[in-house]
Amino acid sequence: MTDNTVAVLGAGMVGVATALELQRRGMAVTLMDRRAPGQETSYGNAGVIARSSLMPFNHPRLWGTLPGLLRNRSAGFCYNPAFVAGNLRWATSFVGNARQNIFAETTAALDGLIRLSTAEHRRLLAEVQELQRLRDNGWLFLYRDAAGFDGPGAELGRATMAQFGIATQTLNAAELQDLEPVLKPVFAKALWIQDSCSVDSPGAVVRAYADAFVARGGALQTADLRTVRHAGDGRWQVIDSSGAARDFGRVVVALGPWSQKFMAELGVDVPMGFERGYHLHYAAGGSGALQRPIYDTAGGYVLSPMEQGLRLSTGVELNHCDAPMKPRQLEAAEASAREALPLGERLEQPLWMGRRPTLPDSRPVIDEMPGRPGLWLAFGHQHIGFSTGPGTAALLASLMLGDRQLPLDPRPFRASRFL
Ligand SMILES: Cc1cc2nc3c(=O)[nH]c(=O)nc-3n(C[C@H](O)[C@H](O)[C@H](O)COP(=O)(O)OP(=O)(O)OC[C@H]3O[C@@H](n4cnc5c(N)ncnc54)[C@H](O)[C@@H]3O)c2cc1C
């Protein structure tokens, strides 16, 4: 490779991990973002790195719950009908992919990506001396009644985890109380997913990785990026909103939910849904402390112990990427969480909102853009981009550098699925 310059566009977990990995592989990398690293989706997530996340939202049992979800009253899911109507290609394809054969491909692909990423996170956290942020004690799915635990989606989830050898333990109410004494006795059953870990500040982890990238000689640039275009000789020119242009041998688009808008400037229509979610931080209300993230399946929220306090994050609001925020889902989640444990006062205003960028088969794109050599894509990481940034980086770097042996099967992540 004669020109080893690469611009990585977007400094969320995916972009930062990709920049670090390409740098490690000897490329001259410039990381560009309009904000400081890890300030958007990769800041506000629940910080869970879980093997259970191989289970996509569009699994085959979705068909049974779809009529209920379409009523738009579910705690963990709501949607803007205008968004769905305006994005029918994405919506029909997303639901259409809730089939056994696609599910089998997706779970296998995501399991590989999550396992690789978890190992990479451990290596990186050790290198940047932030391993203390990693809690290795799993997370909990909580069920208020036996019907929830026995529901078709929950049952498929357990069968899938068993199929992939993911360590879990079913807990009754007393066992749950022993494990998490801070919880009120409102849960009849729980599934403890032991094969998972979590961090106490996802944003701080991204910042630490970005600091390491800069300390190792990487260039970090603030730029509001507009588009890219061919610069001749197979090179690419990155253009910002002031019109300034810079040439690179290669470009990686890792703009998370904004990748769709960016690619549209190039005439490429990316079918992407925006599964928006909110968070707020709370003080602990009682004397005990929550030890690990919990997912209250009926309440539709996740509560994670964070450096900033207890982070309450909501399920899915399917809506336009930049539509105004709606606090309704967070308020309902707060009411449910107060039933579950003694939650103190709100610690942070204003409300935070992020967008999970989701492609129709719930797998990210990790590939070179067909027909545009040198333009690489790394986006569409839905609910698991904080976890899977480092595995994405390892696969993308291997593909870009033409490794004979790849760390993962690249086929499930190919751009030609949609583009
Ligand atoms: C409520 C919630 C909870 C979640 N919980 C988890 C979890 O527990 N575990 C997990 O693994 N994942 C979780 N996720 C998903 C995860 O946060 C995302 O998949 C991941 O952060 C996506 O990372 P990214 O780098 O692709 O995007 P981002 O982090 O959004 O980064 C994109 C970057 O591009 C920049 N950018 C965009 N447009 C431009 C432009 N024009 N010019 C310059 N810069 C630009 C932005 O400033 C941003 O820094 C959660 C998400 C939400 C919303």
DSSP-assigned states of every residue in 101-152 = HHHHHHHHHHHHHHHHHHHHHHHHHHHTT-GGGEE-S-EEEEESSHHHHHSH
Residue 208 has pLDDT above 80, yes or no: yes
Task: Provide, rounded to the nearest whole percent, the portion of the chain with pLDDT above 70.
Answer: 100
Helix/strand/coil percentages in the chain, nearest 5: 40, 25, 35
With CA atoms as reference, report the closest residue to 408 among 117, 30, 8, 98: 117
Query: How many angstroms from the chain centroid is the CA of residue 88?
Result: 23
Query: What is the best residue among 49, 294, 383, 387 to mutate for testing ligand 1's pocket, by most ligand atoms within 8 Å of CB?
Result: 383
**CA distance linking residue 47 with residue 186, whole number of Å:** 25
Q: Is 198 in the pocket of ligand 1 (CB under 6 A)?
A: no
What digits encode the pLDDT tens for the residues 141-193? 999 999 999 998 999 999 999 999 999 999 999 999 999 999 999 999 999 99
3-state secondary structure of 271: coil
Residue 287 has pLDDT above 80, yes or no: no
Residue 106's pLDDT band, with cuts at 50, 70 and 90, is very high
Residue type at position 39 = Q
With CA atoms as reference, report the closest residue to 381 among 156, 56, 99, 33: 56
Ligand 1 atom closest to the CA of 47, numbered from 1: 8
Could you tell me the two tokens for 195? 């094969």
**What's the Cα-to-Cα distance from 275 to each of 57, 78, 129, 333, 411, rounded to whole Å?**
11, 9, 33, 16, 25
Query: What is the best residue among 21, 40, 276, 387 to mutate for testing ligand 1's pocket, by most ligand atoms within 8 Å of CB?
Result: 40
What digits encode the pLDDT tens for the residues 297-346? 999 999 999 999 999 999 999 999 999 999 999 999 999 999 999 999 99
CA of 42 to the centre of ligand 1 (A): 4
**CA distance linking residue 96 with residue 93, whole number of Å:** 5
**CA distance linking residue 119 with residue 160, whole number of Å:** 21
> Over the chain, what is the mean pLDDT?
96
With CA atoms as reference, report the closest residue to 18 among 276, 382, 401: 401
Angle at 315 between CA 312 and CA 320, to 5 degrees: 115
With CA atoms as reference, report the closest residue to 383 among 290, 275, 286, 243: 275
* Mean pLDDT value across residues 396-418: 97
Query: What is the best residue among 32, 34, 45, 252 to mutate for testing ligand 1's pocket, by most ligand atoms within 8 Å of CB?
Result: 45
CA of 95 to the centre of ligand 1 (A): 23
Measuring from atom 31 of ligand 1, which residue has the nearest CA? 12
Residue 126 has pLDDT above 90, yes or no: yes
Query: What is the best residue among 21, 35, 42, 55 to mutate for testing ligand 1's pocket, by most ligand atoms within 8 Å of CB?
Result: 42
Q: Is 7 in the pocket of ligand 1 (CB under 6 A)?
A: no
**CA distance linking residue 387 with residue 256, whole number of Å:** 14
Q: What's the length of the chain? A: 419
Residues contacting 217, CB < 8 A, separation 6+: 23
User: Cα(first)–Cα(last) distance of the chain, in Å?
Assistant: 26
Residue 1's pLDDT band, with cuts at 50, 70 and 90, is low
* Mean pLDDT value across residues 1-24: 95
Q: Specify the pLDDT at position 180.
A: 97
Q: Judge whether 56 and 103 are in contact, CB under 8 Å.
A: yes
Q: Specify the pLDDT at position 120.
A: 98
Q: Is 124 in the pocket of ligand 1 (CB under 6 A)?
A: no
**CA distance linking residue 25 with residue 29, whole number of Å:** 10
Q: Is 47 in the pocket of ligand 1 (CB under 6 A)?
A: yes
Preceding peptide of 350 cis, ω within 30°: yes
Q: Judge whether 257 and 103 are in contact, CB under 8 Å.
A: no
What digits encode the pLDDT tens for the residues 223-232? 999 999 999 8
* Mean pLDDT value across residues 90-99: 97
Could you tell me the two tokens for 200? 């106490």
Task: Provide, rounded to the nearest whole percent, the portion of the chain with pLDDT above 90.
Answer: 95
Q: Is 48 in the pocket of ligand 1 (CB under 6 A)?
A: yes
Residue 69 host element (H or E): helix 62-70
What digits encode the pLDDT tens for the residues 231-241? 988 899 999 99
Angle at 219 between CA 218 and CA 225, to 5 degrees: 135
Residue type at position 174 = A
